[in-house]
Amino acid sequence: MQRIIFVDDEPFLSQGYVEALKNRFQVDFLVGARDAMNFMRRHGEAIRAAIVDAMMPTPDDAEDHETADGFETGLWLLARVQAELPKIWPIPTVILTNRSTTLVADALRRREIVGDMIEIRRKLETPAFALPKIVQARIDRPVG
Contacting residues toward another protein, per CB under 8 A: 9-13, 15-17, 19-20, 32, 34, 55-60, 63-65, 69-71, 98-99, 123-124, 127-129
Residue 66 Cβ vs another protein, minimum distance, rounded to whole Å: 9
Question: Which is it for the CA torsion 41, 99, 62, 32, positive or negative?
Answer: negative
Helices 73-84 and 32-43: crossing angle in degrees, nearest 10, is 20
**Integer angstrom CA distances of residue 73 from 21, 65, 69, 127:** 23, 10, 8, 23
> Between residues 58 and 93, which has the closer beta carbon with respect to another protein?
58
Which residue, among 132, 109, 110, has the nearest Cα to 121 in the 3D structure? Answer: 132
The C-alpha angle with vertex 115 and arms to 56 and 21, in degrees rounded to 5, equals 55
Q: Which is nearer to another protein, 103 or 139 (CB)?
A: 103
Q: Which is nearer to another protein, 59 or 91 (CB)?
A: 59
Peptide bond into 59 cis (omega under 30): no
For another protein, the closer of residues 56 and 75 by Cβ is 56
CB of residue 53 to another protein, shortest distance in Å = 9
Minimum CB distance to another protein, residue 88 (Å): 25
- Residue 143 CB, shortest distance to another protein, in Å, is 31
- The β-bridge relationship of strands 49-52 and 26-31 is unpaired
